[in-house]
Every structure is written in C-alpha cells, then in structure tokens.
Amino acid sequence: MLAVALGATASACSLSAQTLTQDEALALAFPGARIERRTAYLTEAQLARARGLAGEGVQVESEVVTYYVASADGRSVGVAYFDAHRVRTLPEVLMVVVGTDDRIRRIEVLRFQEPPDYRPPAGWLDRFRGRPLDRELSTRGSVPALTGATLTANAVTGAARRALALHQVIGPFEASK
C-alpha cells in the first residue's frame, strides 16, 4: 500500500512540475505573432547596471541573456524572458512577458517542482500585470503576500525584477528598429 501511495504522490508531483513548454508559453503570450530568439552579451558595466536596477537581494549572474521578441504586422508587440531559479530547494521556471511600454504583461509558470501547495496561483500572478520596475514591485511594496508561500512570492518577485532590469539594460525594442 505504501508503495502505491508513494507512486501516486510521485505521479501527482511530476504532473504539477511541468506545466508548459517554452513554445507553448510563447504561443500563449503572443498568438499569431512572429517570434525571434535573440541573445545579448552584457558587458561588466551592463551587468552592474542590471544588478543595480534589480535591487538588493535579486541576483543577476549571467552575462549571456536569451530573450524572445514578438512582432505582428512588422511592429514589436512584446518580449519574453525565461527565468530559472530555486524557490526553496527545488527549481521553478517562469516566463516574464514585457510589453512595449516596459511593463509586465504576464507571468506564466512553466515548471514548478516544490509541493503544489506552494505554487503561485494564477490570480496572484495576474497582479503583476501592468507593473513597471519601481520600488513598489516588491513583497514589501504592492506585491501581496502569499500565505504559507513566502519563498514563492519572493522568488516570483525577484524573477520579475530581474527580467525588467535586464529588459532596461538590453533595450530589445531599440535593437528592432
């Protein structure tokens, strides 16, 4: 019986771990748009600027940033950044979509391996919509707490700040012109 129960638990966890593929997430964010994968190679100065913009406690480590610019009718409509990080001890992968106004358009969970109770609910993620990179984009600012999932709230908020900081440094819409 214990083996059956453990097997069922493992199956439930693996189903909740993988939510969307990268291609599915991009299609969901930019239906019908042309999507171009780009890579930015940050200088030390750009990396330092991104770290400063992201804020204290938000790690910005890599000088190589891959991002996806979506366009429709010859005009940029948004950029997607994929952010992989640890929540507590296990990984989470998010897609952070930034609009042409440099504000978050959506956040999608692609992979979440912590227990399902700690997964950020869609309604909570919707509260990031329209947010710019400012002081209020913080769990000490206007981002509401997730009862019993503080580490998840901090991880998602950190990913949002990191994506917006990199977005400002890279200037993906300027590169499209």
What's at 5, amino acid-wise? A
Q: Note down pLDDT in tens along the chain; length 177 residues.
A: 333 333 333 434 444 466 789 999 999 999 999 999 999 999 999 999 999 999 988 999 999 999 999 999 999 999 999 999 999 999 999 999 999 999 999 999 999 999 999 999 999 999 999 999 999 999 988 998 888 899 999 999 999 999 999 999 999 987 554
CA distance 77 to 84: 23
Q: Which residues contact 77 (CB under 8 A, 6 or more apart)?
A: 30, 33, 70, 71, 99, 100
Angstrom distances, CA of residue 48 to CA of 43, 62, 80, 97: 9, 11, 22, 23
Strand partners, 76: 71
**Distance from C-alpha of 37 to C-alpha of 24, rounded to nearest angstrom:** 15
What range does the domain containing 152 cover? Answer: 2-176
Q: What are the angstrom distances between the C-alpha of 146 and each of 37, 97, 130, 139, 177?
A: 33, 21, 19, 9, 40
CA dist 116 and 16 (Å) reads 7
Beta-bridge partners for 71: 34, 76
DSSP string, 19-48: ---HHHHHHHHSTT-EEEEEEEE--HHHHH
Reported pTM: 0.87
Q: How many CA atoms lie within 13 A of 97 on its CB side?
A: 23
* Structural domain count of the chain: 1
